Amino acid sequence: MLAEQIANGVVVGGLYALVALGFTLVFGLLDKLNFAHGEVVTLAGFVALVAVQLGASVWLAIPIVIVVTGLSGLLIELLSFRAFTSKEGHSVSALSSFALGIVILEVVRLEYGAAPLNLAIPTTIYTSGISILGAPIPWVKLATLGISVVLMIGLHVVVGHTRLGRQIRAVGEAPTSAMLLGIHVTRVIQYVFVVASALAGISGLLIAMQGGFVSSEVGFTFALKGIAIMAIGGMGDLRGAVLAGLLIGIAEGIAIHYGLGGFSDVLVWLVMIAVLLIRPEGLLGGGRREVRA
């Protein structure tokens, strides 16, 4: 049913948006790309796997994943970004984060292999749920969408209406001026990496819950789409990342309904090319550097 595929597209689009929001936060603040972001998505799934194997429920695994991936964000900021402040810092930090991401991925593969592993969560969350407009929506999809919406709203509130959010915007617009105003720039940057990586972590756990398994390949796939979605929405614009993520998810659902599922992975790139040709700054981007909530 078309309604079912659109509903699936909204859920997947929410996951795309969460991954893209992490990219957008770091890019909007530092004007740099964190290429280790996708590996944090991968890491989250395996952290959840370990937690479940040790006897925790998948819901209890959520705070565990948030803590571990948030700490990984601090490590990424320390090793791949803090030291690189020269003119070449943009490219060097990007390469450094890419290398660190490869290290994270290879450690996961050495420990767990490259084959997908069953997450071993109750099957009832996939087989029971509710019906909307005749489309069956399992509980796992409702939970995923609900968590995604809460996180998006929460991030909007934090960035747009709190003291930390004002500090983030100040550092993104003029870090030197922010420092002169008494803002601890390094600490604000650390907060951004923690939040961005925690978003990636929750995304990775929700992705694993959708399929019921964890895989070392998932993070790479979602990271590539996250970068494209960030470009479509507008580099550095949080609202644009959410809008673009949902649009791509729905478009993929419609493509699957009409038998074009084989083109779903190409769709995001075709849309990105079309949007950038018509509006190079993206759907909601205004060509400015700071994070916009």
Domain ranges across the chain: 2-278
Provide, rounded to the nearest whole percent, the portion of the chain with pLDDT above 90: 47
Exposed/middle/buried for 192, CB within 10 Å: 0-12, 13-18, 19+? buried
Per-residue confidence (pLDDT) for residue 212, from 0 to 100: 86
Given a cut of 90, whether residue 248 has pLDDT beyond it is yes
Q: What is the DSSP string of the chain?
A: -HHHHHHHHHHHHHHHHHHHHHHHHHHHHHS---TTHHHHHHHHHHHHHHHHHTT--TTTHHHHHHHHHHHHHHHHHHHHTTT--STTHHHHHHHHHHHHHHHHHHHHHHHH-SS-EE----THHHH-EEEETTEEEEHHHHHHHHHHHHHHHHHHHHHHHSHHHHHHHHHHH-HHHHHHTT--HHHHHHHHHHHHHHHHHHHHHHHHHHHTEE-TTHHHHHHHHHHHHHHHH-TTBHHHHHHHHHHHHHHHHHHHHTT-GGGHHHHHHHHHHHHHHH-TT-SS--S--S-B-
Query: CATH fold of 2-278, please?
Result: ABC transporter involved in vitamin B12 uptake, BtuC (1.10.3470)
Q: What is the mean pLDDT of the chain?
A: 87
Per-residue confidence (pLDDT) for residue 293, from 0 to 100: 55
Per-residue confidence (pLDDT) for residue 246, from 0 to 100: 94
pLDDT digits (tens, 9 = 90+) for 157-208: 998 889 988 998 888 888 888 888 888 988 999 999 999 999 999 999 999 9
pLDDT digits (tens, 9 = 90+) for 30-84: 778 899 999 999 999 999 999 988 988 888 888 999 999 999 999 999 999 888 8
Whose structure tokens read 């309604």?
3
pLDDT digits (tens, 9 = 90+) for 226-241: 999 999 998 888 899 9
142 confidence band (pLDDT: 50, 70, 90):
confident
